[in-house]
Amino acid sequence: MSKRLDGKVVLVTGAGSGMGAEATVRFAKEGAKVVACDLNLEAAKKSVDAAEAAGGKAIAVAMNVAKEAEVKAGIEAAVKAFGKLDVLYNNAGVFPSDDHSVVDTEEKVWDFVYAVNVKGIAFVCKYGIPELLAAGGGSIINVASFVALVGCSVPQDAYTASKGAVIALTKSLAVQYGPKGIRTNAICPGPIETPLLTAWLFKEPAEKAKRLNRIPMGRFGRSEDIVNAALYLASDESRWTNGLAMVVDGGITSNYF
């Protein structure tokens, strides 16, 4: 029986933990050859081990997406290992605790957040798009956020603005490269139980309850909730889906009270 991603080569950034680790395993189980990229090479290797234990094929690549030279080298390593690229899954992102309102967030925080969340995607696309074109087309999946679509009384303005930029870049790439066989879409997750979120939120019961009460489904999202959407966008099932900002948030952006 054929699998949803048979024959495809998928590059995953931020593959060492959370949604990236989940994606590495799930994409591999669905038949893809996966290039697991992460700032932490040992973490990426653990994701690769899990993918191979599930019967898939994957390699680990050290990559700081904020460093153009490292992205270029990582793309080259991917093509050398598997011969092509079909899917770019831009999952790497940062959400620093010292990101607050514009009035009290330091310049270094803005620089750090934009370097990873926006420039990181731009660099992967800069070197990845030519490879997708060489393969005859493909799919770019950018992880944005529900906070790019709504305001928040407990702001993380650098993160929020960066994810708005991700959606805007997604739309631009969809128009530029759709005619050339590359579809570009964004996923906008709601609050997801990943190390990035739980490291601080689950230690603050009042803050956790405040956010949980806004979600009609009654729980935070899980990595697999987002990766399920990513599987659709990576597969040929989404061949006419382009320029979408897919909100997967348990209904939080629909909740007025």
What domain count does the chain have? 1
Closest to 13 measured CA to CA, from 143, 111, 137, 115: 143
Strand partners, 183: 139
Calculate what percentage of the chain has a pLDDT beyond 70.
Answer: 97
Q: Which domain holds residue 87?
A: 9-248
Q: Which of 114, 127, 159, 177 is catalytic?
A: 159
pLDDT at residue 213, rounded to an integer: 87
User: How far does CA 36 lie from the centroid of its chain?
Assistant: 12
Query: Is 232 tagged catalytic?
Result: no
Any domain includes 33 = yes
pLDDT of 206 strictly over 90: no
In the chain, which ranges are E strands?
9-13, 33-38, 57-62, 87-90, 138-143, 182-189, 245-248
pLDDT of residue 103: 97
Confirm whether 255 is domain-assigned.
no
Distance CA 94, CA 97 (A): 10
Residue 175 has pLDDT above 70, yes or no: yes
pTM, two decimal places? 0.95
Residue 32 confidence (pLDDT) above 80:
yes
Label residue 43 by pLDDT band (50, 70, 90): very high
Other beta carbons within 10 Å of 176: 12
Q: What average pLDDT score do residues 181-203 get?
A: 83
The single-letter DSSP state of residue 72 is H
The candidate with the shortest Cα–Cα distance to 19, out of 218, 191, 213, 211, is 191
* pLDDT tens, position by position, 118-173: 999 999 999 999 999 999 999 999 999 999 999 888 899 999 999 999 999 999 99
pLDDT tops 70 at residue 200: no
In a domain, 3, yes or no: no
Closest CA to 8 of 104, 112, 87, 101: 87
Is residue 151 in some structural domain? yes
The pLDDT of residue 197: 66
Flag whether 228 is in a domain.
yes
In a domain, 2, yes or no: no
- Take residue 14 and report the two structure tokens written for it: 């931020």
In a domain, residue 131? The reply is yes
Q: Is the dihedral of CA 72, 235, 246, 210 positive or negative?
A: negative
pLDDT tens by residue, 210-242: 778 889 998 999 999 999 999 999 999 999 999
CA distance 233 to 244: 10
- pLDDT tens, position by position, 48-61: 999 999 999 999 99
**CATH number assigned to the domain comprising residue 37:** 3.40.50.720
For the stretch 76-118, pLDDT in tens is: 999 999 999 999 999 999 999 899 999 999 999 999 999 999 9
Given a contact cutoff of 8 angstroms between Cβ atoms, the answer to whether 58 and 34 are in contact is: yes
Domain assignment of residue 168, yes or no: yes
